[in-house]
Chain A
């Protein structure tokens, strides 16, 4: 028992349960004192969940050092926790590598949950008619699949940025280690609250939660809105930390254009999370207030406007897709040179294209609203700005092709995932312009075509590159390599199935299959496609199951990774695996270009000699 309580997570969860009960009690008590009927479920549950989340953070201990500072007490610097073994991952740690892995595990858990949701409603869609789900169950699973995956992707992005950025730029840790721990731990109650919406009536709004539907939805929507708002803090504070770290903590000689290219992707992403996430939090909180206090922000009967929500929502949620993909695209640019043994073609152009995408990404949100009934003249300028995104994105593709051209290409598991990522993201990119031009989008909007397009960008820009990163950096994290044969099995189970899935989505979407429907007209003749998609979805799941088996098996029994296994120029591979506690015992200096493979006698970094 004592051993169990020594884990921060367990303490946090106990405090969260206590806080939730306390919050519900407070609301009930206040109502009783005001002479109202004491028990009203919705405000009690919302306030309880909020207080539960705050007390979780207190209980887990992530506020301890700040409390000490406020009292004027001394805090000690982070100590070596490696003697704790696996247990250090269950408590607050200030080590960016531990936090990175904590993020990674939480991201994988949520990815599995979101994936299982998809499998359930995908199975339901195999046949017309309702098989085993009720309408509200279907809508809840469909809505949560979207949002759970989004949170999972944000955490996965944060995981690799946290683990890699200090290593790649030669820093001992992040700029704000305590804030870093806070950013991770707030995501835990956020995830719990988000999933608790299933137990509180579910929701039928999709991940977009448009009012007035979300104002009339079952109470689960409140947990959905609150969970996302809390997860937003994780994103905003994490972004701040990454930007500061990149600007302030680079090692000697690492000028901006000598940074590893992944760092540019992370910088662009973090600029967006820091400045745009507020808008989704705000829009969701306004819906919460509309439900709790009867405020009519989006209610036309009270002078509100439902379109206003969509503007606020998409001002974040469009840049968000670039938040998801820019680190992944950075990953592709980072790892391709290693496996083709050639410099990254046009480094500066690739670096600037990430910032270009981030900048233009802020100006395109209206393309989600061509059919919404917003002011009609706005549609044309948004069409121009949206199509402009194709230019920097094109630069990336051309640069990848230029990088591969005349290389000496080998095909280990990470490379396979990179190549699939490029092709899948290409499909996502090329299926984009018909959504950008208004008249064609008026056909495609809210159909399965969009679902296919979106899954192509997410798999190409996130899933495939991040699996590549797993196979590539897992040895750095654990000191053992992932099994190559299982890696290939994972790849071949997942990749062809994904093409079947996304191309079928686009095919039936063009023919008239709407998105977010639990049943479809048998007369449309879509059953064969739905059957194929269901089989494909289960094959993808099987591939990911193989990946998990590989992960667990290789962490214990995998081949020991000795030295620079990928023959990389990057600094983290010049030191032993797993990474030592304070990263680099001897600081290094950047003396060359990061990707000068094939230039005899050149190195990227030089470690200081002696003490």
Chain B
């Protein structure tokens, strides 16, 4: 009996100690959405569960190892008992009801993250290898940066151009995969002004790690100002338009404009230069070559760069858009 009392006291002490330790550590990123509140609430409960069960098993185990270890020169066996049906029923039924209750709380928490605000702002998310594009149908603008007004629910309608991607801002907690040929929905209500990043969470090929996009949660006034700026800046100058498109489609993730070689060749000084191809032949980087490289990237692979990395933009960009991008590359001569 003495053993049980000591173990019980140690288990309780350890539970609080482990819980305090985990709590102090700061396990989660900043809480920046109302959905995160529901998620973190359930996390807090789980941490209690983990602390107590960890203590129950580990403390009892360690206590046994210390107290019941074989002393030097000792022979013979341990106490003979083969089981206890009442205990077994107890530690089957108690966990059974505990997990059923936990599942019930889990369903509630899920429900909270899925609450729908009919006045939510819709944003269309288009994901591709390896870029994010956000379209605001209400304002008729598109951007590679995600601007969100604070405290207003956003209804993300998401689709992929190629493989499966996943939308995740750790500070918002919840994530959702993005599928080709199908639209998936994610609803988030940002609650904290700040700069975050949207990360692709589903492995999507070679440059998956770099599929990040900037997220700005701003006040309503700042958001309106940003929208106004975007609406006024649709330019007629092909070079400026090209620069915008390049930003919009995230070409800069692989192609630098300052001479640094990333996943793809740099654009600095590319126009009209002589390009060595992987098959050993040479080609001049003129209008025709650059256009082909955008709509059919694998036709001619520059030496030293991997094939099958860049997706085709044939279905994404029309002829004018391609011409604008080529004009922009020309401007970097």
Contacts and interface: CB of A to CB of B under 8 A. Distances in A.
B238 interface: no
Given A136-B206, A218-B308, A397-B57, A306 B106 contact: no
Interface string B173-197: 1111111111010000000000001
Given A387-B99, A409-B68, A599 B61 contact: no
B306 interface: yes
B83 A434 contact: no
B78 A597 contact: yes
Contacts of A347: 82-83
Given A346-B88, A437-B105, A437-B106, A517 B95 contact: no
A210 B49 CA distance: 34
A343 interface: yes
A301 interface: yes
B78 A380 contact: no
A400 B205 CA distance: 44
Contact of A409 (B54, B64, B181): B64
A301 B179 CA distance: 12
A213 B204 contact: yes
A380 B109 CA distance: 11
A384 B61 contact: no
Contact of A383 (B25, B107, B166, B204): B107
B174 to A, nearest CB: 4
Given A135-B263, A394-B95, A404-B64, A341 B77 contact: yes
B279 interface: no
A539 B53 CA distance: 29
A438 B203 contact: no
Contacts of B88: 346, 349, 395, 398
Interface string A393-426: 0110110111011111111000000010011001
A373 B206 CA distance: 23
Contact of B175 (A205, A307, A371, A388): A371
Interface in A577-606: 593, 595-599
How would you classify the secondary structure of chain B's contact residues: helix, strand, loop or mixed?
mixed
A502 B298 CA distance: 41
A307 B160 CA distance: 14
B92 A391 contact: yes
B60 A598 contact: no
B102 A419 contact: no
B287 to A, nearest CB: 29
A127 interface: no
A522 B114 CA distance: 33
Given A371-B176, A373-B184, A510-B28, A598 B57 contact: no
Interface stretch (B208-216, B224-232, B289-297, B321-329): B208-216
B163 A405 contact: no
Interface in A211-232: 212-213, 216-218
A343 B306 CA distance: 62
Nearest to B38: A439
A284 interface: no
A389 to B, nearest CB: 9
Nearest to B75: A408
B24 interface: no
Interface residues of B, number: 87
Interface stretch (B39-47, B134-142, B148-156, B239-247): B39-47
A581 B120 CA distance: 75
A177 interface: no
A224 to B, nearest CB: 14
A342 B164 CA distance: 53
A589 B273 CA distance: 86
A424 to B, nearest CB: 11
Interface stretch (A49-57, A87-95, A442-450): A442-450
A604 to B, nearest CB: 13
B27 interface: yes
B159 to A, nearest CB: 10
Interface centre among A405, A511, A595 (most CB of B within 10 A): A405
Contacts of B10: none
Contacts of B103: 380, 383-384, 387, 436-437
B179 A306 contact: yes
A263 to B, nearest CB: 18
A401 B201 contact: no
Contact of A349 (B83, B168, B202, B308): B83
Contact of B91 (A217, A218, A343, A398): A398
Given A343-B81, A373-B182, A439-B42, A404 B68 contact: yes
Given A347-B82, A373-B184, A391 B95 contact: yes
A520 interface: yes
Top 9 A-B pairs, shortest CB-CB distance: A300-B181, A437-B106, A512-B170, A598-B77, A407-B78, A517-B209, A598-B80, A342-B78, A135-B206
Interface of A: 134-136, 139, 204-206, 208, 210, 212-213, 216-218, 300-301, 306-307, 340-349, 371-373, 376, 379-380, 383-384, 387-388, 390-391, 394-395, 397-398, 400-402, 404-411, 419, 422-423, 426-427, 430-431, 433-434, 436-440, 442-443, 445-447, 507, 510-512, 514-521, 593, 595-599
Given A346-B87, A398-B91, 20 more contacts: A208-B203, A217-B205, A340-B68, A340-B78, A341-B77, A342-B81, A343-B80, A348-B83, A373-B176, A390-B99, A394-B92, A395-B91, A405-B60, A405-B64, A437-B42, A437-B105, A443-B174, A443-B175, A517-B208, A598-B79
19 contacts: A135-B306, A300-B179, A300-B180, A345-B83, A371-B175, A384-B103, A408-B78, A409-B78, A423-B58, A430-B50, A439-B42, A442-B173, A442-B176, A443-B39, A446-B203, A516-B208, A517-B208, A519-B209, A520-B209
